[in-house]
Amino acid sequence: MVAAVAALAAAPQGLAAGGPEPEIAALQVSLRSKGMYFGRIDGLAGPMTAKGLRAFQRAAGLPVTGELGPRTRAQLGALGRPLVARRVLVQGAYGWDVSSLQFLLARAGHLRLYEVDGHFGASTKAGLLRFQRTRGLARDGIAGPATLTAFGYGRRTPVLTQVTASSTASYTVRPGDTLTEIAAKHKTTVRALAAANDITSVNLVVEGAKLRLPESVASGPAADLSRSTVRAHIDKWAAHYGISVSLARALAWQESGFQTNVTSSTGAWGPMQIMPDTWTFVETVLLGRTVPRTGEGGVRVGMALLSHLLKRFNGDQRLALGAWYQGEKAVREHGLYGETKTFIANVLALAGRPL
């Protein structure tokens, strides 16, 4: 397995037939995020994976070789890098190596295959803790050198050192802080915070480091927009992502009443009431770019997420709305909760009215 990783890093790699491989699973996750693969995340280099890779290369304007070279990996964006055993992985991380780790956990029986998505969330941490317990490792929920070695990756990984910068708007990292918590506290996103501080990995932050806060934080909250303007943004981004305008408007109305600067008690913000972690997931995994924390930005993030959930549930609006409300994992494992059914009914009823 280590040899396979080295080969992928050094030269273009064709999709060789064989048993399930975490690198192939990571490729499948990356292609799925680009809408080029809708099969199972099974780690097998089958015809669907090969077809998806060629389709992506064609769409990206790359030579259609069917080989996974550096240029293709770069075009895949946040889910196309880094390779396994290049960094320590903790909750909140995204990337190719996270997808690989998740697939290894799933193969060991500690994670469900549908949870292999390149996002190190709570379920991945729980699965990792179970794996560490079975191997007699320190149960810290961190995929560091010892844990990666237990999976078959023997290379030691460096720990991030924080780059600091002075600014009129700054924050000094306290014991136990994470970038996710800091971003939520200052009404920004992990991606924007990392960009403002030249951070190339968001895995670890150093106590005492001074972080520059993004300009949007220093300049105050997003401007309030009229309801007609919010409605126009909803229509624009719903059309962009191929979502029913009536459904998009109904969901936004249910969440915020088309209000811009509204924050829930749990930290959800904006017209679509997006949580900070969800905003980061959409930016990093679904879009591969930073979205400004504005009223329109909140609408775009919400539409991208709704489009993703509709695809995950094969266009079923009820299940997609259920996943929006209670989370995809909970829907798949437990079905729709009673309060979720009420939420869905309200949204669908609103979709039948002019808003």
CATH number at residue 11: 1.10.101.10
Asked if residue 163 belongs to a domain, the reply is no
- Indicate whether 190 and 282 sit together in one domain: no
The domain boundary, picked from 107, 122, 151, lies at: 151
Asked if residue 343 belongs to a domain, the reply is yes
- Indicate whether 72 and 175 sit together in one domain: no
CATH number of the domain enclosing 194: 3.10.350.10
The whole-number pLDDT of residue 7 equals 35
- Indicate whether 27 and 147 sit together in one domain: yes
- Indicate whether 16 and 92 sit together in one domain: yes
- Indicate whether 198 and 331 sit together in one domain: no
CATH number of the domain enclosing 258: 1.10.530.10
pLDDT at 10 over 80: no
Asked if residue 300 belongs to a domain, the reply is yes
Asked if residue 83 belongs to a domain, the reply is yes
- Token pair of 211 as six digits: 């972080």
How many CA atoms, within 13 angstroms, populate the side-chain half-sphere of residue 294?
A: 14
- Indicate whether 239 and 336 sit together in one domain: yes
- Cβ contacts of 275-279, under 8 Å, gap ≥ 24: 276/180, 276/183, 276/184, 276/189, 276/190, 277/92, 277/121, 277/180, 277/184, 278/305, 279/189
Least confident of 246-250, 257-261, 319-323: 257-261
- Indicate whether 200 and 277 sit together in one domain: no
Number of neighbours of residue 56 by Cβ within 10 angstroms:
21
- Indicate whether 233 and 212 sit together in one domain: no
Span 114-123, average pLDDT: 90
Asked if residue 156 belongs to a domain, the reply is no
Supply the range of the domain harboring residue 187: 170-218
Span 164-187, average pLDDT: 63
How does DSSP assign 262-323, residue by residue?
-B-TTS-BTTTTB-HHHHHHIIIIIISS---SSHHHHHHHHHHHHHHHHHHTTT-HHHHHHH
Arithmetic mean of pLDDT over the chain: 79
Asked if residue 268 belongs to a domain, the reply is yes
Q: Which H or E run contains 122?
A: helix 122-134
The whole-number pLDDT of residue 302 equals 96
- Indicate whether 73 and 14 sit together in one domain: yes
Residue with token string 């009823």: 349
- Indicate whether 79 and 120 sit together in one domain: yes
Asked if residue 295 belongs to a domain, the reply is yes
Query: Count of domains in the chain?
Result: 3
- Indicate whether 189 and 322 sit together in one domain: no
Asked if residue 201 belongs to a domain, the reply is yes
pLDDT at 97 over 80: yes
Strand segments, DSSP code E, in the chain are 13-14, 67-68, 170-172, 210-212
The whole-number pLDDT of residue 237 equals 96
- Token pair of 122 as six digits: 């709570």
- Indicate whether 198 and 235 sit together in one domain: no
pLDDT single digits (tens) 304-331: 999 999 999 999 999 999 999 988 888 9
pLDDT at 56 over 90: yes
